[in-house]
Amino acid sequence: MLEIGTKAPAFTLPDQNGETHSLSDYLGKKVILYFYPKDNTAGCTKQACGFAERYPQIQEEGAVVLGVSKDSVRSHKNFETKYNLPFTLLSDPEHQVIEAYDAWKEKKNYGKVYMGIVRTTYLIDEEGVIVKAMDKVKAADNPQQMLEELQGTKA
């Protein structure tokens, strides 16, 4: 988990349309940067749709949402289209950014141990500094938690 108060690691990744995005593109805005395991899975769909539902309020708070997984650009495009997602999905197949944000960890499933993405969300302020860091987030609750964080209604 990256420390609150530290500069968010810089990155440049392609989105669902193949266009590149850098964290520096968003200076002056708050960024909800969330890492999720896989497009079109139950939890990830719940989380993405939760952010989509709250996106107008998130924008009102001067923030954007960037979702990151190791899925391909094409997979992200299909995911965006299927659920009408209004925000950017970034593709990190080499998991360089995922690792830089400490979201690539050992996981266990039915006794099998493997490396994968642990659902992690960061809130980055207008200057590119991490102001909130959450790991092992619950997919269904995370969008509302982040909206409350932006609105300052959560201590």
What tens digit of pLDDT does each residue of 114-155 get? Answer: 999 999 999 999 999 999 999 989 999 999 999 999 998 654
Sign of CA dihedral 20, 151, 100, 40: negative
Hey, which residues are catalytic here? Answer: 44
Average pLDDT (96-113) is 95
Q: Which amino acid is at 96?
A: Q
Average pLDDT (35-60) is 97
N-term to C-term CA, the chain: 20
Average pLDDT (99-123) is 95
Share of the chain above pLDDT 70, in %: 98
Q: What is the pLDDT of residue 73?
A: 98
Sign of CA dihedral 116, 121, 127, 129: negative
Predicted TM-score (pTM) of the model is 0.95
